[in-house]
Chains A and B, each alone.
Chain A
Amino acid sequence: MDEIDITLTVNGTAHILSVSPRTTLADALRQGLGLTGTHVGCEHGVCGACTVIVDGAAMRSCLMLAAQAERHAITTVEGLGRPEALGPLQAAFRKHHALQCGFCTPGFLTTLHALLTEEPDADAERIREVVSGNLCRCTGYVAIIEAALEARAAYGHQEAEAC
């Protein structure tokens, strides 16, 4: 099939990519742009490892064609911080041991970043409900939720006054 050109913004940088029409956004990010932080697990929308942020909303990049990202703004895990300057969620994951093998971690970070940006006061129940769309099979969810709760402060969450 003929390749098509798409224009999209990834982590603040505009790109023009030539892709086969069947290419998913996940594969375009990884193979077209070398952004291999976005992990591809199940390739049918179940595991959540490939979650990226599209115009502020967390979405599965394996369930989007790259062509559907035309003129949209994408944030991947690479956009959430750098090794020498971790973002608040990344720092909290590290502190709380919220990752072991790390395969699922990019999807958790992007999902939680989108959530806390919109809902900085999300409580443990809401966070648990949201990350039910991300499968972790080695670390477990307790530390992930603790990390997310702590990271809320950086997104504007105000602790309730002790009384």
Chain B
Amino acid sequence: MKLPPLQYVRASSVSEAVDLLVQGAGDARILAGGQSLIPVLAFRLAAPAVLVDIGGIADLKRIDITDETVTLGALVRWVDIERSTALKAHMPLLPAVMAHVAHYQIRNRGTVGGSLAHCDPAAEMPGLAVTCDGTIILEGASGRREAPAVEVLTGALAAEIAEDEMIVALRFPRWRPERRWGFAEFARRQGDFAMAGIVAHFDQDADGVARDVHIGVIGATDRPTRLPGAEAALEGRIPDAMTIRDACRAVQDEVEPPEDIHASAAYRRALAGVMANQALRQAAGLPAAANGQ
């Protein structure tokens, strides 16, 4: 359907964008790449009076890597992450996951900030942000604040962002060079939203024991979330096939899947376990299981 009537303004800086949000008094929305927001408008799920286009703010397009952190500006696009040689070297999980985000044309325009603000429980970047200890940096009328991703991405299409605030960046702690990682998701068609997906990473000590295990789920819960029971099943153990099977059972015990037209809760629960097996076997360097799991 056609978009609802609206006004359109361009912001040339973050402070100007925040001023425009304040003027909008709750009826203004930030427009980044528009790959989530414009469908929302087309479905008339929202009808803001004003769109504040931040697409021209060059400062928000940066990928910054320091000794301590990896920071993605709000306007970094999926294709920028997919092609970034610096990220491939310093946080290879991020570019690897991008192949799963929507389609080629969407990846040329969709942004980190837009996806986080939209907060779809099946989307990849919110899952990465929550699982990999991301910090979301926001700017609003009362200044800049930082919050753990898990405190911002608290519900389906309901990020905790104030009316006068916008996301300016997502920051991850620097990735250890030898870190093991895996990602698996299942969608009915290439590029569709995941019915279940698992993000996993851990470090291994000299004895091959898994340390600092992070396992997060998308698509099979009402929000992206880490799975402490599954993490505990792997923490301090050697990630062999048996241990991974234990962790997958813990995933299935722990997820609370929604039921909808696409899949029953039981199916999503089973699928989350299968995805965990794929992701953890990838992380551990084990071959894919013979039965396709």
Contact = CB atoms under 8 A, between A and B. Distances in A.
Interface of B: 1-8, 10, 31, 34-35, 38-39, 41-43, 51, 53, 55, 79, 99, 102-106, 108-109, 189-191
A74 interface: no
A45 B8 contact: no
B191 A63 contact: no
Contacts, number: 95
Contacts of B3: 22, 24, 65
The 8 A-B pairs with the shortest beta carbon distances in the complex, nearest first, are A133-B103, A21-B8, A132-B190, A57-B108, A22-B3, A44-B39, A130-B104, A44-B42
Contacts of B79: 57
Contacts of B42: 43-44, 62
A120 interface: no
Interface of A: 1-2, 4, 20-22, 24, 27, 43-45, 48, 51, 54, 57-60, 62-65, 67-68, 70, 111, 115, 129-130, 132-133
Nearest to B9: A21
B109 A22 contact: no
A66 B53 CA distance: 12
Nearest to A60: B105
- Which residue of B2, B79, B108 has the most chain A CB atoms within 10 A of its CB atom? B108
Contacts of B6: 1, 21-22
Contacts of A68: 31, 34, 53, 55
A63 B107 CA distance: 12
B7 A21 contact: yes
A78 B147 CA distance: 48
Contact of A129 (B4, B51, B55, B190): B190
A4 B103 CA distance: 31
